[in-house]
Amino acid sequence: MSTTPSLSPFSQGPRGLTLEGVALADIAARFGTPTYVYSRAALVAAFDAYRHALGERPALVCCAVKANSNLGVLSVFAALDAGFDIVSGGELARVLAAGGRADRVVFSGTGKSRAEMRQALAAGIHCFNVESAAELDRLDEVAAALGTTAPVALRVNPDVDPGTHPYISTGLKSNKFGVAFSGALALYRRAAALPNLRVCGIACHIGSQLLDPAPVVEAAGKVLGLVDRLAAEGIHLDHIDLGGGLGIRYRDETPPTVAAYLAPLLELFKGRTEALCFEPGRSLTGNAGLLLTRIEYLKPGEEKNFAIVDAAMNDLARPALYDAWHDAVAVMARDLPPQCYDVVGPICESGDFLARERNLAVEEGDLLALLSAGAYGMSMSSNYNSRPRAAEVIVDGDSVHLVRERETVESLYALEKPLARE
Ligand SMILES: *Cc1c(COP(=O)(O)O)cnc(C)c1O
């Protein structure tokens, strides 16, 4: 089967698979493998799809930094005046280092430390998306100590089933995220009464890889009901944050376009004055990146054939973690009968697979591209098995920019030391 997820920036030609104007084989020769390769044009197009669909409506599109936190990628969005959705002080530092604006940052996450709150207050972020009563109290106290006021939204949990993988479903009562919808009104009253908080918005995020806007529309309807009840009590919000979650095509999924996803929401918000905020991650970077890897060995077996590549689950965890599908494409077409392979890495775990049961016409030494790897790829990578992390490059037209050098082995243990012998 040959699936071609969002092949717009990719094409197969005489130089093999190319991204924008650059042959992947040239990237491998120059930077080695495994390497994450992103298309600047695809990143820009994904962001522009949100901007165009939102039109003149007051809106803030905040890229979810956790999906791809490379400074080069973030700088592409910063140049488009994007906002950013962060979940740690580390991500805030990255946004600022990449040239992003602090006043367009929303800070999500269930476990913000005092130090992270101080850092975000000092930077002057747009809003804290608060996830518990205890966090409200702590934020008020930290803001008071700094002699400032913290802008807050409550992340409410609308108890809507997004119909996605249970690990990436976040808006059910049973999830750790957000404050219960039933208690939100009381919590808003409490927030409004705290002297060092300024209540400015409301947020929800119900899950990821959504292929249908209906659950988000349902959640947004519940949120609007709450916004109106708050207004009746004199608590006026200036923005409504509907989170991220729009899915992408990995294999044969048919996600709505950004415009089709936003249309029913824009309809619901017609005539309202609140600014809208979105926190897309996967739909901005997922199909703008691939993982380029080289086949080290072909290992035919009695039951299965393996293509053992130089990338592994430490580079791309999604297949091992979620049983996720990434298309595996040979960079150079070969005139061979295709054979069925499991594409696996060198790590000592049976879960170390990147793609299973794929028909590939390949030989040892050939390059493979694992597509749709731009989101939750490098940002979830690890050094398991003492493997230096991959390099990352951004293709821009005919140029290639190295935006993360390949790690060295020495850097992996630079912070460690052996115990001195007695
Ligand atoms: C992960 C996350 C996002 C991004 O989700 P995508 O599915 O990648 O769009 C946005 N907001 C919050 C609060 C998140 O946790």
Each residue's pLDDT tens digit, 246-290: 999 999 999 999 999 999 999 999 999 999 999 999 999 999 999
Q: How far is CA 33 from CA 37, 262, 314, 325, in A?
A: 10, 38, 14, 21
The residue type at 171: G
More reliable by pLDDT, 193 or 176: 193
What tokens were used for 265?
Answer: 């929401």
In a domain, 89, yes or no: no
**Contact indicator for 209, 245 with CB cutoff of 8 Å:** yes
More reliable by pLDDT, 389 or 181: 389
Q: How far apart are CA 130 and CA 111, in angstroms?
A: 10
Question: Which DSSP state fits 199?
Answer: E
Does 152 share its domain with 274? Answer: yes
In a domain, 80, yes or no: no
The pLDDT assigned to 24 comes to: 98
Mean pLDDT (whole number) for 26-51: 98
Does 290 share its domain with 217? Answer: no
In a domain, 168, yes or no: yes
**Contact indicator for 138, 121 with CB cutoff of 8 Å:** no
Is residue 410 helix, strand or coil?
helix
Among left, alpha and beta (phi > 0; psi -120 to 50; other), residue 25 is alpha
The pLDDT assigned to 168 comes to: 54
Mean pLDDT (whole number) for 38-48: 98
The pLDDT assigned to 10 comes to: 77
Pairing status of strand 83-86 against strand 105-107: parallel
The pLDDT assigned to 176 comes to: 73
Number of C-beta neighbours around residue 267 at 10 A: 9
Task: Identify the CATH number of the domain in which residue 404 sits.
Answer: 2.40.37.10
* d(CA 246, ligand 1 centre) in Å: 9
Is residue 105 helix, strand or coil?
strand
Does 379 share its domain with 404? Answer: yes
Report which secondary-structure segment, H or E, holds 330: strand 328-330
Ligand 1 atom closest to the Cα of residue 210 is: 7
Pocket test for ligand 1, best of 278, 279, 282 (most atoms within 8 A of CB): 279
Please report the sign of the dihedral spanned by the C-alpha atoms of residue 52, residue 53, residue 56, residue 57.
negative
* d(CA 395, ligand 1 centre) in Å: 25
Is residue 206 helix, strand or coil?
coil
Pinpoint the alpha helices (H) of 255-408. Answer: 258-268, 282-285, 318-322
Query: Could you read off the pLDDT of 61-103 as tens digits, one per residue?
Result: 999 999 999 999 999 999 999 999 999 999 999 999 999 999 9
pLDDT at 15 over 60: yes
Does 315 share its domain with 217? Answer: no
What tokens were used for 299?
Answer: 């290992």
Give the active site residue among 200, 277, 340, 348.
348
User: What domain range is 290 assigned to?
Assistant: 10-39+286-412
Mean pLDDT (whole number) for 155-172: 71
Please report the sign of the dihedral spanned by the C-alpha atoms of residue 328, residue 330, residue 333, residue 336.
negative
Does 186 share its domain with 261? Answer: yes
Does 276 share its domain with 296? Answer: no
Q: How far apart are CA 332 and CA 330, in angstroms?
A: 6
pLDDT tier for residue 164 given thresholds of 50, 70 and 90:
low
HSE on the CB side for 359, CA within 13 Å? Answer: 6
pLDDT at 398 over 90: yes
Pairing status of strand 83-86 against strand 275-278: unpaired
**Contact indicator for 105, 98 with CB cutoff of 8 Å:** no
Query: Could you read off the pLDDT of 366-384 as tens digits, one per residue?
Result: 999 999 999 999 999 999 9
Told to judge if 348 belongs to the known catalytic residues of this protein, a careful annotator would answer: yes
**Contact indicator for 159, 181 with CB cutoff of 8 Å:** yes
What share of the chain in percent tops pLDDT 90?
A: 90
Ligand 1 atom closest to the Cα of residue 209 is: 7
* d(CA 357, ligand 1 centre) in Å: 30
What tokens were used for 384?
Answer: 């398991």
In a domain, 212, yes or no: yes
What share of the chain in percent tops pLDDT 70?
A: 95
The pLDDT assigned to 3 comes to: 40
* d(CA 51, ligand 1 centre) in Å: 18
Q: What is the DSSP string of 220-284?
A: HHHHHHHHHHHHHTT---SEEE----B---SSS--PPPHHHHHHHHHHHTTT--SEEEE--SHHH
Pairing status of strand 306-309 against strand 328-330: unpaired
Please report the sign of the dihedral spanned by the C-alpha atoms of residue 408, residue 410, residue 413, residue 416.
negative
In a domain, 74, yes or no: no
More reliable by pLDDT, 398 or 9: 398
User: Of 240, 265, 280, which marks where a domain is finished?
Assistant: 280
Question: Which DSSP state fits 302?
Answer: S
Does 267 share its domain with 311? Answer: no
Does 192 share its domain with 216? Answer: yes
The residue type at 106: V
pLDDT at 341 over 60: yes
Q: How far is CA 167 from CA 48, 152, 333, in A?
A: 29, 27, 36
Residue from 277, 204, 216 nearest 246 by CA: 216
| Mean model confidence pLDDT for the chain | 94
Question: Which DSSP state fits 130?
Answer: E
CB-defined site of ligand 1, < 6 Å: 64, 66-67, 85, 108, 205, 208, 243-245, 279-283, 375
CA 109 to chain centre: 14
Does 215 share its domain with 141? Answer: yes
Domains held by the chain: number: 2
The pLDDT assigned to 162 comes to: 75
User: Of 257, 280, 303, which marks where a domain is finished?
Assistant: 280
ω into residue 34 within 30 of 0, thus cis?
Answer: yes
Q: How far is CA 238 from CA 87, 110, 169, in A?
A: 22, 23, 27
**Contact indicator for 227, 303 with CB cutoff of 8 Å:** no
Ligand 1 atom closest to the Cα of residue 155 is: 13
Does 142 share its domain with 272? Answer: yes
